[in-house]
A and B are shown apart, each in its own frame.
Chain A
Amino acid sequence: MPGRAVARVGPSWVAGILPRWPYGRKRTLRRFVPPLALLGAWQVASALALVDPSFIPGPGTVLRAWWQWMFGERAALSWYSGTWFEYVYLSARRVLIGFGIAALVGTMVGILVGWYELMADLIDPIVQWLRPIPMTAWLPFATFLFGIREGAAIFLISMGAFYPIVVNCTAGAEQTPKNLVRAALMLGTPPRKLLLRVVLPSALPFVFTGLRLGIGIGWVLVIVVEMLAVKGGIGYAMWTAYQFVRIDLILASMFTIGILGLASDRLLLVVSRRVLRWSSGLKAR
């Protein structure tokens, strides 16, 4: 159909990794209108001084501050100059390490709890009793335990991301179709191998849902923990900007974290679409 033509850009290896842009020209345009309109409205409001620019700065001011934060000269006390890449690295590293631990442990524990009754009885109560404690409530204790160091950040992020992963993996393993298990046994799979041959692949859609929720929580917690318990990172910058009343840098930090969160989520989505090619036909849309 004309107008539904889907453009592929860049070299072919890019096309192999990136998902196909699913929208035609008309819908592509349509989807860019609202965000651009919002930005425009913000610019207009600030240019006409509808809001006090010293109270809420316009997009231009934010961009200039952001630029300096990225590429400005490093100086002893100016945390807002030339530190952006380092702070992004610090935050991303904390999220990735914490999330990595959560993904590994959460998937293993979740699948085991969902499949083996014994594991469910031994582990599930602990998870369910600890889960209602908000991760922010762990902050003082974690800081006390680890000090103002990386450990506190990794602990909170991995624990926070662990819950959605473990809950989803448990649900996925519990919902393994009975007949698939029977089919595997009938075809000669020994019962102890069912976990890897049937339960895990069958639960994969749930696993990825858990991972996406988990990494989202990771970004939430990295901000919280950087504001209060560790030095450096986007959350640290944001809190410092607040103390110096640099609203432009607060907004730049917010955009930064938004972009990082979006990028990591899209990345996971691409991976999950690849891994779950086989399940695309099970969806209604």
Chain B
Amino acid sequence: MEQRSQGALAGGAGGIECRSVRKTYRDLSGGTEVLALDGLSLDIAPREFLTLLGPSGCGKSTLLNIIAGFEKPDSGAVWLDGRPIERPGPDRGVVFQDYTLFPWLTVQRNVEYGLREKGLSAAEAAGVARHFLELVGLAGFEQRYPHELSGGMKQRVALIRVLAIDPQILLMDEPFAAVDAQTRAILQEELQRLWLQTRKTVVFVTHSVDEAIYLADRVAVMTARPGVAKAVVPIQLPRPRDATSDAFNAYRRDITRLIEVEARKVFST
């Protein structure tokens, strides 16, 4: 193992350090090795909202999966509060793009699932679930099955099922990519509100520049594959942010320029 860095992050509450993370994949169609991440290093401060922004296939999701503990890097390491990440766990809540609710459980049971695994009694779990369902306006939908919900509602359930177990870190993999634009705006606002209340460390993957600027403390712009963090842009705008303001526009222009160069690389290869 590499030497453990002793930055300000070690011992913090929900700080993540990525050191020279390298990850290759076997391309299923061609059978060739694809380099997804090439020595990526990135620090994420406790209670920070960081968005990972980059062109498709730049390894954003790969990095998220490694932080979640779903996948292991080929080399390099990822630490959470100074401890290496070995496996998935309830300290890192993941919100997937395709919701990934348990289809055989009702909304209520989906939200209670992690609470029951934590050892809460049925009554306690029901109480917490009720609180969160009300928080996102899903009271009255407790007994529905996921297939009976709209995309926006499913993603709310996916979000509160994770918030209910109170993880230190929230990992979100293009969570709003599959919902319509209006719902997306509402969900972004809700997420921001919940984040301001709870102040968890959030790593949020997106390919939308606006979404990245609207939500993030810092935007990490990733290069085209193989991915490394090309630039990390702190967004110094008061919340909630106005996407039509000049300052917002300036960020949009700068970051779009950074992204475009990388997006072109994808097509030229």
Q: Interface residues, chain A, CB within 8 Å of chain B? A: 177, 179-180, 182-189, 198, 201-202, 204, 277-282
Contact = CB atoms under 8 A, between A and B. Distances in A.
A187 B93 CA distance: 7
B96 A183 contact: yes
A278 B113 CA distance: 16
Q: Do most interface residues of chain A lie in helix, strand or loop, or is the interface mixed? A: helix
B102 A180 contact: yes
A279 B100 contact: no
Given A179-B98, A182-B70, A277-B145, A188 B118 contact: yes
Contact of A187 (B103, B104, B117, B146): B117
A198 B147 contact: no
Given A185-B88, A186-B89, A278 B147 contact: yes
Contact of A186 (B68, B101, B104, B105): B68
27 contacts: A177-B100, A179-B98, A180-B102, A182-B68, A182-B94, A183-B94, A183-B96, A184-B102, A184-B113, A186-B89, A186-B92, A186-B93, A187-B90, A187-B117, A187-B162, A187-B165, A188-B89, A188-B90, A188-B114, A188-B165, A198-B102, A202-B104, A278-B103, A278-B145, A278-B147, A279-B103, A281-B145
Nearest to B113: A187
A261 B146 CA distance: 34
Contacts of A184: 102, 113
Given A188-B117, A278-B146, 9 more contacts: A183-B101, A186-B92, A186-B93, A186-B162, A187-B161, A198-B102, A201-B102, A278-B103, A281-B145
Nearest to B97: A179
A250 B118 CA distance: 62
Contacts of A179: 96, 98, 100
Contacts of A277: 145
Interface string B224-236: 0000000000000
Contacts of B103: 278-279, 282
B148 interface: yes
A238 to B, nearest CB: 42
Nearest to A282: B147
Given A186-B93, A198-B102, A280 B113 contact: no
B88 A279 contact: no
A183 B100 contact: yes
Interface size range of chain B in the complex: 20 to 34
B87 interface: yes
Name which of A189, A204, A280 has the most chain B CB atoms within 10 A of its CB.
Answer: A189
B62 to A, nearest CB: 14
Contacts of B146: 278
A202 B146 CA distance: 14
Contacts of B118: 188
B102 A280 contact: no
B142 to A, nearest CB: 14
A213 B92 CA distance: 43
Contacts of B69: 185
Contact of B148 (A180, A186, A281): A281
A148 B167 CA distance: 65
Contacts of B165: 187-188
A180 B105 CA distance: 12
Given A179-B96, A277-B145, A278-B145, A186 B90 contact: yes
A278 B104 CA distance: 5
Contacts of B68: 182, 186
Contacts of B92: 186
Nearest to A179: B100
B88 A201 contact: no
Contacts of B161: 187
A261 B93 CA distance: 49
A187 B114 contact: yes
Contacts of A202: 104
Nearest to B94: A186
Given A185-B87, A186-B68, A187-B113, A279 B104 contact: yes
A182 B102 contact: no
B102 to A, nearest CB: 7
A187 B68 CA distance: 11
Contacts of A282: 103, 147
A261 B50 CA distance: 61
Contacts of B114: 187-188
Interface in B69-97: 69-70, 87-90, 92-94, 96
A184 to B, nearest CB: 8
The 5 A-B residue pairs with the shortest CB-CB distance in the complex, in nearest-first order = A281-B147, A187-B114, A188-B117, A188-B90, A185-B88
A118 B113 CA distance: 29
